[in-house]
Chain A
């Protein structure tokens, strides 16, 4: 809103960038948004089902933690989303808009599946696991490195580039699911090594997902330290704030971009490994199920802080699980849970607007 506009005609309200809010206020806005989202969801559900809203919330909570299995599933899904969020964070902090996590995870998963299928009965369990880790990390890293290399050398648009890489990854997965499908030509790989469980991440203490969760917890701690206390972490934030400043203080921007995206891709590869070897034991083109995009939101909402990300990913998965339960219990189509999740995510993203901007109404004097 420039001054000349104000002189000619001042609109009823205008939007201005806020001064940095005290963090408690920004969190009140965010929590308020979640509360408002829940009210909106209850309203929609009540309108469609006629159930009382308390019942709806109770169903949501029941769906997320109602039984032991559901709780494990909640924690596992949180861990998976968190892992991919951790993976996208270094690049995003550097303002490298990597929206290709979906494809990078998929490539990591495909590498894992390939090892399980091709070497499942040929290598010993520890050796197979090592080969799987190496190939999945490499696959994810290469998939991230290609756009980073072009960005660093020729300043290509990384958003479009990484987005397109997602579709290529999906087509490659389609090709291999067709090639390895059981029965031949069905386009479904089915459970890989169902009998031998070769290449499956082992259950700890009878809990299939425990090891996954521990691995992601460790990664979270490492990522926190890396971003906050290491020289690399410092370089990432400087390049993110201003490339010129970074150059001025002698940071090799090109190198930092490529190194960081390589790291992002490698972590995506690990997420693919955990998804295929530790969770699904198969691969389809939909294995990542949009987590590569949701992860961006998780990371942004948490202000790129891995510890906050535990909370944001937990919140999103909790709401998704609750919404799925509502659609099952009240006999609604699965699209309903997507509507509910959509409403909640809309409110959460909307709250960021109010955290960063303020709405200023026209002052009365200006009317005269």
Chain B
């Protein structure tokens, strides 16, 4: 037995030595790979890190866009799904970089710190991250954030909601004072606040008496909680529901009760043919094409990228004529044109008040820090400049007309 132990120890030692030898060997190979700048589209490789797989509507939106963009530009794609917001993300990111990817992209907010950690280790690889907030303060040449001005899409969806309320008021279903909408939100984060406020302002632009109640679920995906939140809002007398969470909970609750619904992340008309009005979503194809083209042409990727309706980064679904009020398409087209030429701003300070007062100045927490210090003046020229100082939303004002039923961080 003793002899055998020795033999085994020796064997193991040899195996380990072999490993270390492999270390040295591949180290040399790494040095001969060409720098990223010289590569063109044909031999580019892009790695994607997704929080879940195709079963999540949020990730599916990214996965589809990634495949579409890579196929269109003819670059190689490597996908990693079900990567949690933990050190696994760092492992996945450095593995993709090590595999020869020129760009590594991650899709979830909690991936950010691990992406930064990996970016520091691989300065020749570009790391791009959706929904993050730290690129503009981190000062890393190869780390970038991206988002889309989804608040424009939500504003237009809000216009559709307001018109629907007007139609119901005219039909005598309830009075103008009773026009109340409900909103199912995930967390009390700026991203959600910016979303429901733009939706509300869109509705208010055509239906001035509208009010709104918001119920938070404390989860991005919890079908039961979202359904219950929607039902609570309906029992509170809400006439129309919208949501910012990833399950079908709220839309199906609306379909069951026959209450109109403005959806998110894509059309839910298949499941809700009688109540679905319109939906807004972020289309990531423009950003993916942008980041790939930047690397192919040897150009720097912007630290923050945020495009909207014009660039095709924010999209509205088909309008469901069965549920939408007549004239919705025209009203949306008009508002869209005004947004495009700059005569209309979603967060125009003339259209909302905070504690009864019109704002002329507000400092938002743009530069991420642990204490959430308000650091940047964001109101100028009569409107709140959302997503201009960084790509991720930072509108976190509690405006009059919207009641939060609960708060969930």
* Residues A282 and B19 in contact, CB atoms below 8 Å apart: no
* Residues A307 and B113 in contact, CB atoms below 8 Å apart: no
Asked whether any CB of chain B lies closer than 8 Å to the CB of A124, the reply is no
Residue of A nearest to B122 (CB): A69
Binds A, one of B6-14, B248-256, B308-316, B373-381: B6-14
Report B-chain residues with C-beta under 8 Å of the C-beta of A190.
110, 112-113
* Interface membership of chain A positions 50-84, coded 1 if the CB is closer than 8 angstroms to chain B and 0 otherwise: 00000000000000011111111111000000000
* Residues A194 and B94 in contact, CB atoms below 8 Å apart: no
Report A-chain residues with C-beta under 8 Å of the C-beta of B408.
185
* Interface membership of chain A positions 262-295, coded 1 if the CB is closer than 8 angstroms to chain B and 0 otherwise: 0000000000000000011110101100000000
Asked whether any CB of chain A lies closer than 8 Å to the CB of B26, the reply is yes
Asked whether any CB of chain A lies closer than 8 Å to the CB of B86, the reply is yes
Asked whether any CB of chain A lies closer than 8 Å to the CB of B400, the reply is no
Report B-chain residues with C-beta under 8 Å of the C-beta of A311.
8, 11-12
* Residues B86 and A280 in contact, CB atoms below 8 Å apart: yes
* Interface membership of chain A positions 301-338, coded 1 if the CB is closer than 8 angstroms to chain B and 0 otherwise: 00001011011001000000000000010010110000
Asked whether any CB of chain A lies closer than 8 Å to the CB of B334, the reply is no
* Residues B86 and A23 in contact, CB atoms below 8 Å apart: no
Q: How far is the CB of B50 from chain A (nearest CB, A)?
A: 11
Asked whether any CB of chain B lies closer than 8 Å to the CB of A250, the reply is no
Asked whether any CB of chain A lies closer than 8 Å to the CB of B399, the reply is no
Report A-chain residues with C-beta under 8 Å of the C-beta of B270.
none
Report B-chain residues with C-beta under 8 Å of the C-beta of A69.
94-95, 98
* Interface membership of chain B positions 18-31, coded 1 if the CB is closer than 8 angstroms to chain A and 0 otherwise: 11101110110010
Q: How far is the CB of B24 from chain A (nearest CB, A)?
A: 8
Asked whether any CB of chain A lies closer than 8 Å to the CB of B343, the reply is no
Asked whether any CB of chain A lies closer than 8 Å to the CB of B130, the reply is no
Count chain B residues whose beta carbon lies closer than 8 angstroms to a beta carbon of A: 48
* Residues B87 and A310 in contact, CB atoms below 8 Å apart: no
Report B-chain residues with C-beta under 8 Å of the C-beta of A67.
26, 30, 98
* Residues A71 and B109 in contact, CB atoms below 8 Å apart: no
Residue of B nearest to A302 (CB): B8
* Residues A75 and B16 in contact, CB atoms below 8 Å apart: yes
Partner of A310, one of B12, B80, B91: B12
Report B-chain residues with C-beta under 8 Å of the C-beta of A310.
9, 12
Q: How far is the CB of B264 from chain A (nearest CB, A)?
A: 20
* Residues A279 and B8 in contact, CB atoms below 8 Å apart: no
* Residues A194 and B117 in contact, CB atoms below 8 Å apart: yes
Are A308 and B86 also in contact (CB < 8 A) when A67-B30, A71-B22, A190-B113 are?
no
* Residues B8 and A287 in contact, CB atoms below 8 Å apart: no
Asked whether any CB of chain B lies closer than 8 Å to the CB of A18, the reply is no
Are A68 and B409 also in contact (CB < 8 A) when A75-B19, A190-B110, A305-B5 are?
no
A286 to B78, CA, bound (A): 25
Partner of B19, one of A74, A281, A328: A74
* Interface membership of chain B positions 95-108, coded 1 if the CB is closer than 8 angstroms to chain A and 0 otherwise: 10010000000000
* Residues A279 and B87 in contact, CB atoms below 8 Å apart: yes
Are A307 and B8 also in contact (CB < 8 A) when A186-B109, A331-B79 are?
yes
A287 to B84, CA, bound (A): 11
A234 to B119, CA, bound (A): 51
Asked whether any CB of chain A lies closer than 8 Å to the CB of B389, the reply is no
Asked whether any CB of chain A lies closer than 8 Å to the CB of B223, the reply is no
* Residues B84 and A286 in contact, CB atoms below 8 Å apart: yes
* Residues A314 and B15 in contact, CB atoms below 8 Å apart: yes
* Residues B27 and A68 in contact, CB atoms below 8 Å apart: yes
* Residues B19 and A191 in contact, CB atoms below 8 Å apart: no
* Interface membership of chain B positions 23-56, coded 1 if the CB is closer than 8 angstroms to chain A and 0 otherwise: 1101100100000000000000000000001000
Report B-chain residues with C-beta under 8 Å of the C-beta of A70.
95, 98
* Residues B117 and A191 in contact, CB atoms below 8 Å apart: yes
Report B-chain residues with C-beta under 8 Å of the C-beta of A183.
189, 372, 409
Q: How far is the CB of A329 from chain B (nearest CB, A)?
A: 9
* Residues A23 and B4 in contact, CB atoms below 8 Å apart: yes
Asked whether any CB of chain A lies closer than 8 Å to the CB of B325, the reply is no
* Interface membership of chain B positions 186-198, coded 1 if the CB is closer than 8 angstroms to chain A and 0 otherwise: 0111000000000
Asked whether any CB of chain A lies closer than 8 Å to the CB of B73, the reply is no
Report A-chain residues with C-beta under 8 Å of the C-beta of B26.
66-68, 71
Report A-chain residues with C-beta under 8 Å of the C-beta of B86.
188, 280, 282, 284, 286-287
Report A-chain residues with C-beta under 8 Å of the C-beta of B23.
68, 71-72
Asked whether any CB of chain B lies closer than 8 Å to the CB of A17, the reply is no
Report A-chain residues with C-beta under 8 Å of the C-beta of B114.
191
Asked whether any CB of chain A lies closer than 8 Å to the CB of B397, the reply is no
* Residues B94 and A65 in contact, CB atoms below 8 Å apart: no
Q: How far is the CB of A69 from chain B (nearest CB, A)?
A: 5
Report A-chain residues with C-beta under 8 Å of the C-beta of B409.
183-186
Report A-chain residues with C-beta under 8 Å of the C-beta of B79.
331
* Interface membership of chain B positions 163-201, coded 1 if the CB is closer than 8 angstroms to chain A and 0 otherwise: 000000000000000000000000111000000000000
Residue of B nearest to A64 (CB): B19
Report B-chain residues with C-beta under 8 Å of the C-beta of A73.
91
Report B-chain residues with C-beta under 8 Å of the C-beta of A333.
53, 81-82
* Residues A185 and B370 in contact, CB atoms below 8 Å apart: no
A188 to B109, CA, bound (A): 10
Asked whether any CB of chain A lies closer than 8 Å to the CB of B1, the reply is yes
Report A-chain residues with C-beta under 8 Å of the C-beta of B90.
191
Report A-chain residues with C-beta under 8 Å of the C-beta of B98.
67, 69-70
**Residue of A71, A282, A308, A334 with most partner-chain B CB within 10 A:** A71
Q: How far is the CB of B53 from chain A (nearest CB, A)?
A: 7
Report B-chain residues with C-beta under 8 Å of the C-beta of A15.
none
Interface positions of A (Cβ within 8 A of B): 23-24, 27, 65-75, 182-186, 188, 190-191, 194, 279-282, 284, 286-287, 305, 307-308, 310-311, 314, 328, 331, 333-334
Pairs across A and B, CB under 8 Å, 18 listed: A66-B26, A68-B24, A71-B19, A71-B22, A71-B26, A73-B91, A182-B370, A183-B189, A186-B409, A188-B85, A191-B113, A281-B87, A281-B117, A282-B87, A286-B84, A287-B86, A311-B8, A314-B15
Known: A74-B19, A333-B81, A333-B82. 8 other contacts (CB 8 A): A65-B19, A67-B26, A71-B23, A182-B370, A191-B117, A280-B86, A305-B5, A328-B80
Closest 8 CB pairs of A and B: A185-B409, A280-B87, A191-B113, A190-B113, A188-B110, A65-B22, A69-B98, A284-B86
